[in-house]
Amino acid sequence: MKKRLLLSKRKLKSFNIFFENSFFVFNGFLGKIKYKFSKKILKVVLKKKNNSFLLKKLFFFSKSLYFFQKILNFIFVGCCFGWFLTLEFSGRGYSFICNKKSVKINLGFSHGIGVLQSKNISLVTNKSLKNKIFVHSIDFFFLKNFSFKLRSLRPLDSYKGRGLKYENELVKLKVGKRTF
């Protein structure tokens, strides 16, 4: 059974891979991402033509190559389409205010918490959906790390389910005190 990289099937001319200062740069519609990979894996997967890199068709896989294929797929989708994530506040008294450079989040503490946005992340809010934040980025791993940091500011309460959670996250609540 022949297995190939998913990226080799795509024929988008605007997606390029090139080498710059010991980093591989992936350039797409939405921007570019820099990563540093081991050269042994890259020699097997990528072939150099002129000043750019093309993906080889692979007929064998090991665990490290499969992992590398997954990373390349995340990078490709991020550069061409972007990654979206929705964070939802559940409970009373939680609110947020988005500016161009920062977000102020009120999580029920005595003071609001300010979070600076980086160049890779964009936060969007909607006035009709007051309890949701839409997060967009081209880098999947940076997006997950940023959302994890936001969630760690107010983790979910295991009894009532209050706090920050992902939009479709299922929360299993603990049973409270029982009286017999």
Supply the pLDDT for residue 42.
62
Say how far apart CA 22 and CA 165 lie, in whole Å: 38
Please state, in angstroms and as integers, the Cα–Cα distance from residue 54 to each residue in 51, 78, 110, following that order.
10, 18, 54
Domain range annotation of the chain: 6-80, 83-166
DSSP H helical ranges for 81-161:
140-153
Say how far apart CA 130 and CA 150 lie, in whole Å: 17
> Which of the residue ranges 79-88, 109-118, 171-180 has the most confident prediction, judged by mean pLDDT?
79-88
Q: What confidence tens digit (pLDDT) does each residue in 8-29 have?
A: 444 456 777 777 777 778 888 7
Supply the pLDDT for residue 5.
39
Q: What confidence tens digit (pLDDT) does each residue in 36-60 have?
A: 876 666 666 666 666 555 556 555 5
Fold of 6-80: Outer Surface Protein A; domain 3 (3.90.930)
Q: 6-80 and 83-166 share one CATH topology? A: yes
Q: What confidence tens digit (pLDDT) does each residue in 144-163 have?
A: 999 998 888 888 888 888 88
Contact 79, 32 (CB under 8 A): yes
Q: Amino acid letter at 106?
A: N
| CATH entry, 83-166, from 3.90.930.12, 3.40.50.300, 3.30.470.20, 1.10.3720.10 | 3.90.930.12
Supply the pLDDT for residue 6.
45
Which of 92, 30, 39, 41 lies closest to 66, judged by CA? 41
Supply the pLDDT for residue 37.
72
Contact 11, 26 (CB under 8 A): no
